Amino acid sequence: MVKKGSLTVRHLVVTVLVVLLVNTQLTWWIIFVLRENRVRLGMERDAIQAQCRMEADRVARDLAEAHRILDAAVVDGYHKDSEPPPPFSDWRAEPSVQNCGAPLLKNGIVVLSSPAPEAGQCVLAQTTEHWTSSLLHLHDDLELTAVQQVEKKTKRPAIILGPPFETLAVSPTAEVWHAILKGYRGRILMMVSEGAFFALMLFVLVALLWRTLRREVALEHEHRNFLSAVTHELKSPLASMRLSLETVLGGRSEPDAGVHFLKNALQDTERLQSLVEKVLEATRYAGKGSSLDLRESCLSEVVEGAVRRFSRRTTATGANLIFEIQRGIWSEIDEEAIAIVISNLLENALKYGGANPQVDVRLTESNGRSQLDISDNGQGIAPDDIPRVFERFWRAGDEMTRTTQGTGLGLFLVQQIIKGHDGEVMVANTGPDGTTFRVILPRATTVEET
């Protein structure tokens, strides 16, 4: 396939390069999307973690501010009967408190302490319940979680609070974090779906390319066989005609022998005419229903007429022709086309018959369908060749070594014409005792002859 045509090596190379380019682009796109999705998850995690850190810093600032207010009040002078400054609800002095100045948590209420050096005491101030509740009130997207309950598998972000809340951490709510992970997984699923779709399209493209390549190779082989067959079919009769005419014109034959040579030349002319008609018929009837003139006709008469015309061939070749035709079968047919079908099947049976060819023809009608069987006594068709016998230009074997004449158009024409009649043609039986081709036509009736 180095010559120019519908599919050449250049086309194949370009297509392979395009497929490789698309595959590379698809791979790069998948890697890029995965990286971008991972980066986006990291950015969303960093954003929610920053929000947690801001809330933790707010809690620390509010505690520090309350501690500053307590320290200022103690410096101004502590009196047990005086009112504690806001946000404290009560305060008292104790002679000795360990770690005075560190915040405490008592019954869920924040207690701050401040040393009073001149009195050798430590002032303990209890905040209001409302202030503690406000201190721990977080943004709607955040919640307080026990440190030991922070989910490690999903790497849920969390910021641990300072004393007295060191057992608590600020983290996003389960709904918010699951929504982030759901979006991350959803984008992966979308990427996988799109990648699978494009990969499937790429696979389909490669499959179509392979199918087209095989079809082109097969068609190229069929065309080569057809050209070889036509060349052989043209050269043989032309060479014979030239030899006969040169012999007669050169005066190298007796008058009786000259007539014989002219008859041979006429037969070769008929052979060439038959070849031309085959090619024209292939063009005319290619495609279901093309150029058919369907009319209600007597199928029995059409078959009998075609068989009797063909009997001259069998008589000349010494073949035995046996036919059994049921009378009065009518059907909607194209008489000329059906005659071509019968002629091609008979010619095929004669061509591939045995050493003493015998052709059997049988036409019957049953249940509104006509059945035409044409059999030979040849060696049969190889099982692997049966599906291909009706292909255009196809012939078993190699044209360069084949001895039987033909172009590979006869059975193709038979199938196309029968399809145009909404019928079917098949290899009904084949084996070492011969082959039977069966043609079935619908809408058939039997009319009793008067």
- Residue 241 belongs to some domain of the structure: no
User: Same domain, yes or no, for 306 and 159?
Assistant: no
User: For residues 371 and 444, is the Cβ–Cβ distance under 8 A?
Assistant: no
Among candidate residues 153, 172, 191, the one where a domain is terminated: 172
- The confidence score (pLDDT) of residue 339 equals 87
User: For residues 169 and 144, is the Cβ–Cβ distance under 8 A?
Assistant: yes
- The confidence score (pLDDT) of residue 399 equals 44
- The confidence score (pLDDT) of residue 4 equals 46
- Residue 181 belongs to some domain of the structure: no
Query: pTM of this prediction?
Result: 0.49
The one-letter code for the residue type at 72 is A
How far is Cα 43 from Cα 70, in angstroms, rounded to an integer? 41
Order of strands across the sheet with 142-146?
A: 142-146, 168-172, 159-160
- The confidence score (pLDDT) of residue 434 equals 93
Domain count, the chain: 2
- The confidence score (pLDDT) of residue 289 equals 45
Write out the residue range of the structural domain in which residue 329 sits. Answer: 288-446
User: Same domain, yes or no, for 23 and 158?
Assistant: yes
* pLDDT in 10s for each residue of the chain, 450 residues: 344 445 566 766 777 787 788 778 878 888 888 899 899 999 999 999 999 999 999 999 999 999 999 989 888 887 877 888 999 999 888 876 677 888 988 888 999 988 876 666 888 899 999 999 999 999 888 999 888 776 565 678 899 999 899 889 999 998 999 999 999 999 888 888 888 888 888 788 778 877 887 777 777 766 676 666 566 556 666 777 777 787 778 777 677 777 777 777 777 677 677 666 666 666 666 654 457 888 999 999 999 999 998 887 788 788 899 999 999 999 999 888 898 889 889 988 998 887 889 999 999 999 999 999 999 999 999 988 898 898 877 766 544 434 556 666 788 888 888 988 999 999 999 998 899 999 999 999 998 765
- Residue 397 belongs to some domain of the structure: yes
User: For residues 214 and 53, is the Cβ–Cβ distance under 8 A?
Assistant: no
Question: How much of the chain is helix, strand and coil, in % rounded to 5?
Answer: 55, 20, 25
- Residue 100 belongs to some domain of the structure: yes
Among candidate residues 144, 172, 200, the one where a domain is terminated: 172
- The confidence score (pLDDT) of residue 228 equals 62
Q: Is 82 helix (H, G, I), strand (E, B) or coil?
A: coil
Among candidate residues 140, 172, 204, the one where a domain is terminated: 172
- Residue 203 belongs to some domain of the structure: no
- Dihedral (Cα; 421, 422, 423, 426), 10-degree rounding: 110
Look up the CATH number of the domain holding residue 377: 3.30.565.10
- Residue 148 belongs to some domain of the structure: yes
- Residue 212 belongs to some domain of the structure: no
- Residue 194 belongs to some domain of the structure: no
Number of C-alpha atoms within 13 angstroms, CB side, residue 248?
16
User: Same domain, yes or no, for 161 and 16?
Assistant: yes
